[in-house]
Copies of this chain bind each other. A is one copy, B any other.
Amino acid sequence: MITENNNSIFPKGEPLSKDWFTGDAFLFPLIAKDKNNEFSAGSVTFEPNARTNWHTHPKGQVLIVTEGNGFYQEKGKPIQVITKGNVVTIPENVTHWHGASATTKLVHIAITNYKEEVQVTWLQPVSDEEYNIANHQ
């Protein structure tokens, strides 16, 4: 199922797994790893309340926010508000999450490097308690 996203740059794409995401998040793939590109890239759409689980990337990731706004947080650090036009460079092996706010959608391009064949290690969900802090700060 490809869902059209009126006025957005890309379609929403396919739903992302509830194993790794809370709420309704979607991926539209843009770039596959190949002999030149040592990364993949895709457009990720988070509906309000949707967010990743806590996770790490072995060789980092870059987020380019193309629409809406939401949050980015590294474990033990303050929550950052991210909005259209922001770029987030995520270091390797840092536990973090990102997602929409409770009332707004977030769309970002994610460019994810590979370390050998691994891009991501998924951890526990962001609890409602953790998520509510972001929305009430």
Interface of A with B (CB < 8 Å)? 9-10, 30-31, 34, 36-39, 41, 59-60, 62, 64, 66, 84-85, 87, 89, 91-92, 109, 111, 113
Contacts and interface: CB of A to CB of B under 8 A. Distances in A.
A36 B113 contact: yes
A38 B38 contact: yes
A60 to B, nearest CB: 4
A109 B36 contact: no
Name the 7 nearest CB pairs between A and B, nearest first. A36-B60, A36-B59, A30-B87, A9-B85, A10-B85, A31-B62, A36-B113
Contacts of A37: 39, 60, 62, 89, 111, 113
Contacts of A109: 64, 109
Nearest to A84: B9
A92 B36 contact: yes
Contacts of A41: 62, 64, 111
Nearest to A62: B31
23 contacts: A9-B66, A9-B84, A9-B85, A10-B85, A30-B64, A30-B87, A31-B62, A31-B87, A31-B111, A34-B89, A36-B92, A36-B113, A37-B39, A37-B60, A37-B89, A37-B111, A37-B113, A38-B113, A41-B64, A41-B111, A64-B109, A66-B66, A109-B109
